Every structure is written in structure tokens, then in C-alpha cells.
Chain A
Amino acid sequence: MLKIFKLALKNIFNKPLSLALSLVLFALGSGLITALLLLNRQLEDQFVRNLADVELVIGAKGSPLQLILCNMYHIDNPTGNINLAETKPFLNPKHPLIAKAIPLSLGDNFKSYRIVGTTPGFLTMYNAGFEQGRVWENDYEVVIGKSVSDQTGLKLGDEFDSSHGFMEDDDLIHEQHIKFKVVGILNPAGSVIDQLILCNNKTVWLVHEHEEVEETESDSTEIDNHLKHSDEPINPAPVIYTTEELLELHANAVQELVSNEEKDITSILIQFRGRNYQTLNMQRSINENTNLQAATPAIEINRLFVLMGVGIEALRALAILIMIVSGLSIFISMLNSLKERKYELALMRAMGASRWQLLTLIVAEGAFIAIVGYFIGALMGHAAVALISGYMQDSYRYALDGWVFLPEEGILLVACIVLGKLAALLPAIQAYRTDIANTLTQRG
């Protein structure tokens, strides 16, 4: 049997042009499907992981999807600001429906990693623990996610200036008299928190107020003096917080926050005590009766999946079509080559090969083309995702892994082999039926 497979390999490489055509088509199809599988799976995983038990997001009116994308996935711009006076009731720890309400203040970035002003309660939402240092306690102190630390090289105790907005822009860097100071680094969580720089809400206000002040006053060092960092080194040993401790810090932070009624925040992430008709009513009444907007992450993300799904389905159909065409190309090129190869097949019979060996030979040729095509395609698919991942990381700070392998890829390989064998089956049956006497000798 081995010699038959070896011969099958030699045969397919004997016709480099038609092999190349079949391979290119096969690789295109399987590569596209591989890439789609990877993208679909990883995007869904990322989105679902980042839901983080947030059941409602309250923010300014606008697109609900945008509200979710901005405040939970940190990829879109905010819909606007909301006034603390108006949102105060939701932050009240005694609210009958709300278990946890986390205020967010967005607006700055460092090297396009978003700076999120929030309370320590945010850490409990994402189950984040410390790898080094501690939670932010004073203004301008920040805790950074693992990816931020890895990608920007920020270390514990480092200080930096932020940049206004969400994209890195040298012209928009705040010339701060007080710099942000890293006081903690989080453990890798595999969710969006890895990509964030966290501080208290007040710091975000301060950065922007300074900007306004600086425009009018030439000398503002005085104001900053009382805010200067202490130069005490930060103990790198990670502080282990219990959820209760973080929630207590959270409660204090919220209390301080709501005393600034004139200030704005970007949104509130909400976890309910229990989901029932009252919570549903609450969402509807916010949307109908206030200037605020409330959106349910799970619903919006589902909507997004459905929208993406249409595109992905279309691409998948296209990929399957390409695969079928590639199967057809294998079929046609084999059928064509069989006309000239019928002598050598008859000859092999005359030399002692059985009909089954010829059938095996031709089917193996189809399968080998499929297997080689699949692996080229799979390599291209993974490389493409790795490439897209680089782009995504640059512009959205979301990381995809091009080199993870899914069980579905095994199924795809099997499907490819079946397709290759099917394409070769009819030519193989023809080979099986070769009339050796008539082919090799002219009757006389």
C-alpha cells in the first residue's frame, strides 16, 4: 500500500501547474473558513467574557450599542456625559433593586490605552486581583491592566502624562504638572480590564480642569502643590483585597463622588439584586422619562452578533463555494489527465496491480491535493488572523491569537479530505474499469 501512496504523491507533483491551481483554490477556501472560525470564536469569546455580570449600563442618550461598546468594551466613543445630580439615585447603596453601581469617567488615554476613572468596585465586577502594588487611594494614582504594563513598559512607581481623547495624539498630550503614578498592576484576566488604566473619577475631572485653568492662568503651580505625589516608594508586594474590602472602599468613593453634584460622569455599570419585572420597568422608565439612556449589554451584544453573523455567514458561504469549485478543479484536472494516463494505468494493471490498487491510487491523489491544500490554507488563515490581530491591537487594544487551534479545524480537515476523495472518485472508477487489453494493444 505504501508504494501506492508514494506513487500518488509523485503523480500529483508531476503536474505542477494543475496542482498549483487546485492547491490555490483549496487553500483559499480552507484558509477563509479557518480565519472565519478563529475570528468568530475569539470575538464571541471576548465579548461574552467582557459581559462581566453587568446587567445594565446607564449613560447619555444615543445609540444603545455605542453606549455598551464604549463603556463595557472600550472601543467606541462615549454617547456624552451625564450629570451626577441626575444619576445620584442609582449610586445610592440603599437602592432596592441595584446591588452594585459602578460610575465610570472616560476621556483620556495613555498611548491609546484608555484611562477609566472609577471606584474600586470596578475590580469586583471583573474579578481582578493584584500582581503588584495596591488599589488607587489618592488622586492621580493609577492601577494598570497586565497588557498595558506589557505593551507600554509601565512599571510600578512610573509616572506619565495622559493624552486627551481615545487615540494617541502628540498634540493632545496634557502638559500635566502632576503626572499619573502607577501604584498597582493587575493580574492578567483575559478580559478588557487587561487593557485599561484605572484611577478615581476625580482624577479624570482634575486633568481636564487643569487644562481649562492653564489656558487662563500662566502660573498654576500653586494649585498643584498640595497634590504633589509623595516620593515614597510603593511596596511591590501585591495587596490581597477581599471583595468586602473593595466594596467598602467603593462605598466610600461613591459617597465622596455624589457630593460633587455639579460634576459629570460618563456612565454607570449596574448589577441588580435580582432580575424581575421591576428591573425591566426601571430600564424602560429611564429611557422614557429621563435624559438618560439605559441599555442591557447582553441584548446589545446579541444584536451585534446578529449583525456580524450576516457578514460572517455570507463569507462562509463564499468560502464553501470556493471549496466546491476547488473540488471541481481537482475533478476536472484528474479527468483530463486520466485520458493521457490511461496507458500507464493499464500498464500498471499489466504489471500486476489490481483494480483496487488503481482505485486507491487515484483517490489518494485527490486526498493528497486536499490535504496539502488544507494545510496551506490553514497556515494562511492563522497568519491572516495574526495579522488582523496586530491591527486590532493597534487600533482597539483588543488582542486576538492567530495561533490557537480549534477542534472545528480538525473537522474542516476531515471535510477537505472527503471532498478531495469525492472529487477523485469518478476518475478513480474510470481507472478501476480500465480495459487493459484494448488500451495496451491494438487489436489485429
Chain B
Amino acid sequence: MKLQLPDDVLRPVARIEGGIRVSHNKITSECPVRRIEAPERVVIPMLQHIGAPCTPVVKVGDRVLAGQLIGDSEAYISAPIHSSVSGVVKSIAPVVTVGGRMINSVTIENDGLMEYDPSIAPPVINSREDVIKAVRASGLVGLGGAGFPAHAKLNFPKDVEIDTLIVNAAECEPYITTDYRECIENSWDIVSGIHSLIEYFGFKRVAVAVEDNKPEAIRVLDEIAATDRYMDNIIRLIVLKSKYPQGAEKMMIRTVTGRKVPPGKLPSDVGCAVMNVGSVAFIARYLKSGRPLISRTVTCSGSAIAEPANLRIPVGTSAKAVIEACGGYKTDPYKLIVGGPMMGFALYSDEVPLTKQNNALLAFAPNDKGIKRERACIRCGRCVAACPMNLMPVTFADKLKKDPSPQELNDLGAMVCMECGSCSYVCPAGKPLVQSMRRAKDIVREGMKK
């Protein structure tokens, strides 16, 4: 593997501290992305990102076109939502979404015509502000899973210099292969996206980061980096040791640039921006076509799925429809998960709409439980060694038994936890350590409110 030599901007470190080795189970890596037929009905939640929910701008009975704006918000941290099909609005009502929250959603009956909004046109770009405006209008949110509105990510504070863009193709969660397919199938979109971003944002370096378990993606990304080798050598390929959670934003910045984002700070505070490889490719496509984000790639996999696959689905397609497109269930599923197995949400039912944020839908058979019998903590220290944020999960679990003060938990670093799940994964006693971290964070948040 290529080891990138450090320069004045990038000082890659060998690997993250802590973290865990998980079995990758990327069984769909060689499945080309297949477009599924739009379902008869799409349910489009008005919250598909981190931030403020959108308000519907259509009424029941309206005919909407594919790509037409159906929800928007005045709030800054928010992203507009577009119809993914053409058809008639049947209802606007709260619906159970991934994660169990009831969210106001627009249900659209598909007329099967897939008629695009005629006003869709490539945006006119002359400046950085135009790019940010266009990205907002596209409805793009981070496609890696967290769903942070992309325009807010790109709107850097005026007084800081952002010298590095990291294009994140690490995809460290098991099973998921959407970024991998993006690299292989849409490599020229990625190139074009990177070049546009360099043009308008003036990054000194663009680091395309990928884990070393994806040789084919490395080959393709190396070609992408080579598009710049005879110009300024701005674009660099960084091959990272595969270790979960390498793809997490703070870990990524640490390994690629050697910088550490302090608690409560943003990547821009250390001069970095991190974008998912799929988001970069989408920006390129949007700048060319003006078609907003109304479909996305989802990996449908797991031991209970008959034919695991990578699918291009319209936003608002139900989990059930996606699984049916993969040949249905092989066996009765024991667990359904949206997102990766390390950080994803378990579903109560498969009648849940998938959104822009969701990169995977996994179904596990009963013999694939992932539940351990809970025993006494033997203080083996595996959770401490596994924590990429240098926390001591075992200490939090101990403290929580004794009604701790918010200050005490905050001093121990509770808010630094990103809930990556490494501690729970390694715990031989089967302790729900991530849950105790969440509880600790809640206590700190409640304490801050007072």
C-alpha cells in the first residue's frame, strides 16, 4: 500500500488509537447498483437531516412532479425536501420513522409517469456563495449516514482558513457498500465534484481517504488523484488501515491530517472539511443537471435477505418494498436495522420509509443475534482499549450506579462519546456500555439546561 509522506498540510498517522476489528461482511461489494421501480406510494418525512424539520409547502390533493420542492424550512441547519416521484399528495400526517420518532410526512401516490419538474435546470455558479446556495437548493445532506445539511458544512466561518477537504470513502461499518459502489461506478462524478469544490473553495489539499480492505476502490481513487498529479498535486489518495470507526469524522481528520478536533468543536476549527464520497459525486451531478436529491443508494443485506444487493431507491420507499426488491426474506428476520450494524437503528416494523440519510437496510436471521448473556463486569479493560475517544466506558457504567453529578460526568469526557459502539462490541460481559454513555450524556445535557 502507498504510504503518503507527510507534508506541510497532511500528516497522516498510521491508524486510529483504539477502535476495533470487525468482520466486514461486505457481501454486496460486487453487486452493481440496481435501480428499483418506484413504489406505488412514497412516504416522505419532513425531517431527513440533523436540524430543524421542514414545513410542507404542498397540500393534500395537489399534483406534484418529481424533483418538486415539497418541504422547506427557514432554519439555517435544515435541508429542503423534494418529491421523489410524480403523483398526487394523499396525506400529510405524522408517521413512525426510522429511530421510532413520529414525524410529519407527505404521502404521495405515484402516477407512474415520473414526470420531472420542468423548472429543473443546472444552477448558475459564479462564486462560492452560489455553490453553497445551490447545495442548499439540492437538498443534499451528508450521505454517509449522519445527514448533516451539506450547505451548512460548506459555509465555513469567514475568519478561518479551511486548507483541507477530506473525501471520506472509508466506509468502516460492516455490510455497507454504497460508497464503494459510488467509487467504482461514478468515479468521474467524484473527480468532477472534487475539481468544482477546489475551484470555488480553494482547498490546499484534497485527501481522498479509503480503507485498505477495498483494493478495487483504491485503484479507482488513485486514478482520480492522478487527474491532478501533473498540475498542483492537490488531490492525494490516503490509504488507511481498516479499523472501525476509521470513517468517523474526527477519526478521519486525525488520521489524515494529524489534527485533533477538540470536544464540542467542528472540523472547520482545525481547518478541515469532511465530505462523504457520495455527497461529492452528487454535487457534481447536481451542478450539471440541477436534479435535487430524490433518490439514493442503499445496501440491502444481512443473513435474512434472499438476494443482498445495492439499490438505487426513490426517497420515501418503504423498507418493505426495498426488501421485496431483494427477493424478500430468506428466513423470518430476527432484527431489522437501518444503517450499519454498529450504529444503526433497529426497526419495529418494515413499514417505515427510508430517507436521504439511510445508507443501508439490514435484516438478520435468528442465528445471527448479536446479543450476549449479561454477566458481571470483570474490569478486563477491553472497552478502555477499544474507545477511539480515549474514554473509560467502564468508569461511566460504575458512576451511573451512584447518581453522579453532571459536572463529574462532563469532566470524564461524557460529551466526547460519539456512540460508535466499540465498547459494547468488545465487552465480554455483554454490558450495554453505549447505553450507559448515552445516559451519561443525557445527564450532562440536563445539567447544562439548569
A and B bind: no
List chain A positions with a Cβ less than 8 A from chain B.
Answer: none
